[in-house]
Amino acid sequence: MKVLIAEDENISRMVLAKALANHGYEVLQAHDGQEAWDVFQKEKEDIHIAILDWQMPRMDGIELCQKIKDASLSHYVYVIFLTGKKDIDSIVEGLERGADDYLPKPFDRRELLSRLKVGLRLIEFEKALREANVKLHALAITDGLTGISNRRAIFERLRSEISRAVRENSPFCLIMLDIDHFKKVNDIYGHSAGDKVLVEIVNRIKSELRPHDDIGRYGGEEFMVGISKTDSKISRVIAERLRTCICETPFQIEGGKIDVSISLGVVDFMPSRDHDINDLLEAMIKAVDIALYKAKEAGRNRVVYDSVV
């Protein structure tokens, strides 16, 4: 683990560096605050602990601490002030300005290592908390069965992409698809087989889309696909491709193969800057839902198109 030492007193800095190096730390040294900031900017993704002298030329420890804390980082940097100040007011000021701990001068090696261990525990805790939050966020926006966006997340993705389409004055296509007679699959072959069919359908659809296209589970057997920068002619080709990738190849389940088809509603639009994003999304969802209904009413396993002005 890399530790940054910013200390203008050569002997004190060398003693600190040697003590840390002897205990497995990789030490980066700076003679003053500005040099320390320059080093930090180059090595910031690897520096996890900073030991800063309070009073240094060109930039003092307080300012340097604030710069480090304000930096955009993927991890926590534990800052320890090294100071000869003994009064409570100074110590409180340092802690309130962003420092995590302080070490009085002259320092005791055992106290230094103990305070570093405290910092390491906090760093590991913050890392675990950050990773847990990432996992929780993923769970909150992901459909547990298929691994794609859930209803809430796909709405947010669509809102974002429609907003971009309006800004860039580029076409956007929304597809809603429904698995034909999916209830029969569950009733005849069981929910486990039904789940396998759902997962395979998603995998097939994803294989036909571009990496940046959006797909989400809208309901039980309904899905939404958002395709940006795609005009009506291409959107029709894509929708037909999605339909055929499902119906032309039987699905393998335990005990045999079954045929599955989907019905699709497709809506596209060419935006203008006058469009309200929320109103436009609502209008598109309403229109694509009607188009899907027409596809099912017309016999299923087909695509019905519409547009939003």
Strands 222-228 and 47-53: unpaired
Can you give the length of the chain in residues? 309
Distance CA 266, CA 112 (A): 66
- Return the DSSP state at 108: P
Side-chain half-sphere exposure of 162, counting CA atoms within 13 A: 26
Residue with tokens 């698995």: 179
Strands 303-307 and 262-269: parallel
Q: Give the count of beta carbons closer than 10 Å to the beta carbon of residue 59.
A: 17
241 is written with which tokens?
Answer: 């491709």
At residue 83, the 3 state secondary structure works out as strand
Residue 99: which H helix or E strand, with range?
Answer: none
User: What is the residue type of 292?
Assistant: L
Q: Using CA of residue 284, residue 285, residue 288, residue 289, what is the dihedral sign?
A: negative
Q: Is 200 annotated in the active site?
A: no
Q: Alpha carbon 277 to chain centroid distance?
A: 23
Q: Cis before residue 106, ω within 30 degrees of 0?
A: yes
Distance CA 106, CA 26 (A): 22
293 is written with which tokens?
Answer: 């209904």
Of 9, 221, 222, 297, which residue is the catalytic one?
221
Residues with a catalytic annotation lie at 221
